[in-house]
């Protein structure tokens, strides 16, 4: 593994980047968790995938169950053992019943809203520190122990199930990247992108039922995002076809939503619609 900012072996023969990740994993208190992306930001080099590789290769001697995916799901293949640790430590869970009581042993998630570790200040080899309350956050947000979080009723996450994950990785990955979201996790059956305290998951797991998505049927019709200025929305529309998106309502664009509503309505190859609104 090669990670910018420190892949030289330490005294124990473990790369410096890995040592930094493991030190942070040891620092997570019982009953709390951090995502791969959280640790990558605190270390100041590499990304979620590199942190996952470190935990897979060197993490057996640290509380590995406290480091998980942005979706809140535990490490793949270790769901039952992790669940035992979570219950002993009182880690908040969500699933079939409150806090995981009585749910199938592999069908649960850690409640990141309640359990996410938020050090007010963590020195790291990369010179990064944890966010503190003075850092502020998105409009309408508050800070809890250094982590920006919306109060009760704010959107926590959105999960979209798709038939073709590779196509969704390309189309959604480009769009969300253009809108300022960052990759939080990628675990083979799904990908998560983060924007502040909110994350969006695109997943194609074994429980997916065959059939095509149809936005005009009962259910969620589309997701809408703030798109920045009108010029930024126009630039997004111009580039969208190269990344798997087509413009809807072309005869009424950019005012398909009304004469005062400047927005682009896009649809990807699997029929999912997004609205990008100029603000």
As a whole-number percent, the residues of the chain with pLDDT over 90 amount to 47
**What are the structure tokens assigned to 100, written together?**
């995981």
Strand arrangement of the beta sheet that strand 157-161 belongs to: 157-161, 198-203, 190-195, 182-186
Q: Among 266, 273, 271, 274, which residue's Cα sits nearest to residue 237?
A: 266
Q: Which residue has the higher pLDDT, 197 or 2?
A: 197
H-helix or E-strand containing 3? none
Cα separation, 78 vs 203, in Å, equals 19
Q: Among 160, 198, 201, 181, which residue's Cα sits nearest to residue 69?
A: 201
Does the pLDDT value for residue 236 go beyond 70?
yes
Does the pLDDT value for residue 99 go beyond 80?
no
Reported confidence tier of residue 150, pLDDT bands at 50, 70, 90: very low
Count Cβ atoms within 10 A of the Cβ of residue 211 and give its class: 0-12 exposed, 13-18 middle, 19 or more buried. exposed
Residue 107: what pLDDT?
Answer: 65
Range of weakest confidence among 123-132, 203-212, 254-263 = 123-132
Residue 105: what pLDDT?
Answer: 52
Reported confidence tier of residue 215, pLDDT bands at 50, 70, 90: very high
Once rounded to an integer, what is the mean pLDDT over residues 2-6? Answer: 36
Does the pLDDT value for residue 143 go beyond 70?
no
Q: Are 76 and 106 in contact (CB under 8 A)?
A: no
Range of weakest confidence among 99-113, 180-194, 257-271 = 99-113
Q: Which residues contact 140 (CB under 8 A, 6 or more apart)?
A: 150, 154
pLDDT tens string 41-90 = 899 888 888 898 999 999 999 999 999 988 888 888 888 899 899 989 98
**What are the structure tokens assigned to 122, written together?**
């963590």
pTM for this model (two decimals): 0.57
- Region of residue 21 (left: phi > 0; alpha: psi -120 to 50; beta: else): alpha
User: Can you spell out the DSSP letters for 98-162?
Assistant: GGGTTS-TTSEEE-HHHHB---S----TTS-----GGG--STT-EEETTEEE--TTS--EEEEE-
């Amino acid at each position: 593994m090669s990670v910018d900012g420190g892949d030289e072996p330490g005294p124990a023969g473990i790369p410096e980047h890995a040592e930094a990740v493991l030190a942070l994993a040891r620092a997570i208190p019982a009953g709390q968790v951090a995502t791969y992306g959280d640790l990558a930001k605190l270390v100041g080099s590499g990304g979620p995938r590199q942190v996952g590789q470190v935990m897979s290769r060197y993490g057996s001697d640290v509380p590995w169950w406290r480091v998980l995916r942005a979706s809140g799901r535990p490490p793949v293949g270790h769901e039952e053992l992790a669940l035992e640790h979570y219950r002993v430590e009182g880690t908040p869970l969500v699933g079939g019943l409150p806090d995981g009581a009585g749910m199938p042993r592999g069908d649960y998630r850690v409640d990141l809203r309640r359990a996410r570790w938020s050090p007010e200040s963590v020195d790291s080899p990369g010179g990064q520190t944890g966010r503190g309350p003075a850092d502020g956050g998105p409009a309408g947000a508050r800070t809890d122990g250094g982590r920006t979080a919306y109060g009760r009723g704010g959107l926590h996450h959105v999960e979209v199930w798709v038939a073709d994950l590779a196509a969704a990785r390309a189309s959604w990955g480009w769009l969300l990247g253009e809108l300022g979201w960052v990759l939080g996790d990628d675990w083979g059956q799904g990908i998560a992108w983060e924007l502040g305290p909110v994350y969006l998951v695109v997943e194609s797991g074994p429980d997916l039922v065959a059939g095509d998505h149809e936005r005009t049927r009962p259910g969620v019709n589309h997701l809408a995002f703030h798109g920045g200025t009108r010029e930024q929305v126009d630039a997004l529309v111009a580039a969208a076809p190269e990344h798997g998106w087509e413009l809807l309502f072309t005869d009424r664009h950019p005012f398909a939503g009304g004469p005062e509503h400047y927005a682009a309505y896009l649809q990807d190859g699997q029929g999912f619609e997004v609205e990008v609104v100029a603000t």
